Structure 1
């Protein structure tokens, strides 16, 4: 297998122990387990806030840590294997207790106590994971309680093993969410981040980037004249872009034209994208 620096942790000076014998590096290290301890952690391609955002990890997400130096941690996501740099302050090496629930609302508030009139401590994204220690009801509102006494609206979380039945319905909830290159949260997404996070909430883990998704998700779909034969849930790929069919004619996608997650006729999207990136490269059915 060809090594991909997006998915394999190796540099000339340091590499993941599991790659010993496959890459050249001055030293090899065993990864340390950690979890993301902030609502959203940007993963950069270099240890600098000026470096581009490649993807994002969410609260409670497990990572493998190879190095912490000068305020930055070189990590690999456990879920999708993506490698990059996050601020060291975004990590916790205390991996207990394990998450019991995850946020199912597109966005929600973390309150200092079970009281919706209190100023929230943070906003959490769909997909964030938390360990719920109990439940309280205050003035008719149910709260999921964390061990430190902070609280989330109970209606906004679900057990980690409970999945949405339809990833397209999850994706549709992102309509008008701002576009963000590298975004993979309810606060902002890019095209492949929308596919990955929506499918994750429906119980299917897929790779992060469009080329990885096109090479691995589902099966190719043969389309007829006028792109006939497509149906809800099919994925349309261009070079560097992907969208989700919500029915046989309309496409939902995070895009830089509207700078949002938008719904439009597939024919309109193809006509607009063609001068810049050409025709679709494939159609796939998960």
Structure 2
């Protein structure tokens, strides 16, 4: 059986116990539940900061840990199934369970509920936190987190409800976010990360990489079908979102940012480096 190692935890020496009988490994282990406690944690292809970033974990994201060694943990995201290595210090216990979602593009977690106080951390859109209390200071209300930090109450929303029905509107809020290969947050994002994050916040699941998205999201469109807002356009190794019938919204390595541009311009420029459009899908 040909299993994708990006979404299945197996190596010659160690594998997820759920894969026993499907792969060969010296040892099978059940994953230990944990949660990302850093604002953003790089999920890498191997141990070490010089290995490529495949994806990222956001604050509050649940994972299964299969190995801890030399300050690194081999994990699988419980959200999208992506497998990689993360610095062990970025992980904490699975409890307490998150209660709220960061709904602002970016926000600060303060050391105390006071706008003049020092921000302790910057949190990205889509992060999940646990609220334990609420206080008011100078007319502003703050949620107190399980970590003791304070976040402005309008920057959080209870878990469970979509931020918008139109996932493109969420993606548009990330315009000018810096491009980052493997990035999955409002601090830095790549093309497929933009699609995945925006869909997740509209309560729709999506796989992590563009080839997975090209195979699995929605339905394939025939070339003669007119594109509309929300449709996805794919190249080999790239994906963009149609903001309207003629405008592409994407995390562009050319602009090194999330941008909008005429689809015709993007097709001409991207085609020189990556070839023609390989597919179009309707979410």
TM-score > 0.5 by shorter chain: yes
What per-residue deviation string (whole Å, max 9, x for no partner) do you get for residues 191-225 of structure 1?
Answer: 0000000101110111000000000000112233x
Number of the residue aligned with 2:209: 209
Deviation, structure 1 residue 148: 4.0
Q: 2:276 aligns with which of 257, 264, 279?
A: 279
Gaps of 5+ in 1: none
| Gapped regions of structure 2 (runs ≥ 5) | none
Q: Which moved more, 1:231-240 or 1:131-140?
A: 131-140
Pairs within 5 Å for 1:118-157: 118-157=117-156
Alignment of 1:227-242 (within 5 A): 229-242=226-239
Q: For the Cα contact (< 8 Å) 1:176–1:260, is it kept in 2?
A: yes
Q: Is 2:195 the partner of 1:195?
A: yes
Q: Match for residue 108 of structure 1?
A: 107
1:268 and 2:265 aligned: yes
Measure the CA separation in 2 of the matches of 1:262 and 1:149: 36
TM-score between the two structures when normalised by the length of structure 1? 0.97
TM-score, reference length from structure 2 = 0.98
Question: In the alignment, is the contact (CA less than 8 A) between 1:252 and 1:262 conserved in 2?
Answer: yes
Instruction: List aligned pairs for 1:1-286, cutoff 5 A.
Output: 2-92=2-92, 94-163=93-162, 164-224=164-224, 229-286=226-283
SS of residue paired to 2:86: strand
**In structure 2, how many angstroms separate the alpha carbons of the residues matched to 1:157 and 1:35?**
19
Distance 1:156 1:218 in 2: 31
Does the 8 Å contact 1:223/1:230 carry over to 2?
Answer: no
Shift of 1:174: 0.8
